[in-house]
Amino acid sequence: MLTAGGRWCLAAQAEFGRIDILVNNAGIEVTAHFEDQDDEELDRIIRVNLIAAMQLTRLVLPGMLERKRGHIVNIASLAGKVPVPYSSPYSASKAGLIAFTEGIRMEFRKRGVSASAICPGFVAEAGMYADWERQTGAKATFLAGTVKPERVARDVVKAIRKDRPEMLQFWVPARPTAALAELMPGTFEKIYPVFGVQKTFGKLADARREEQRSAEREAAASR
């Protein structure tokens, strides 16, 4: 079954004759206690964040390989490299997207097609974080920080022009932070609460749980 993104992809190919660059930017994030999430929600997160990117890549790949030229840009997240409690399915989908990027890069780079993963932290003014901020009033802590969308856009262009495998955006040096999480997970677990992400996301998950329970009580009372 062809997704909406797939239809747009085919329409773009029909209109312009070819697609040289694909940016997989669609994504959804749900902050919740994992035990509160049902199968439908888990499926939706993985399908939008990971499977859709694979399907769109598969659609454009034959033409790129035929021309021996093309670049796939997957907008992942630091959540795919650094743990994000109360958003585990999102983190898992982004970790999968990073691995997918690395795999297709190694598989097709010698045939003229490459790929890059873009891994931002909280992006101010636009996208999921901006929506979250408007809807809940919650803000990233000082240590967690935010980056501007313009920086993410510049890094996308840089990744394509310089064929970078991965670009990380964080207001403090992101690479050492991600490396510490990977190389010394026990130590990072002790440091991580300082960033305040776990506390903030925990409050949002609690608020969502209360909303769900309130809706259930109202539904039961109306029967």
H-helix or E-strand spanning residue 21:
strand 21-24
21 forms beta bridges with 71
User: What 3-state class would DSSP assign to 179?
Assistant: helix
Q: 67 is written with which tokens?
A: 């021309």
User: What 3-state class would DSSP assign to 223?
Assistant: coil
Alpha helices by DSSP H, the chain = 4-16, 39-46, 52-67, 88-108, 127-136, 149-162, 174-183, 185-191, 197-221
- How far apart CA 155 and CA 151 sit, in angstroms, is 6
DSSP 140: -
Residue 90 is among the residues annotated as catalytic for this protein: yes
Exposure string for 116-134, b = 16+ CB within 10 A, e = fewer: bbbbbbbbbeebebeebbe
Give the active site residue among 86, 90, 129, 192: 90
Residues with active-site annotation: 90
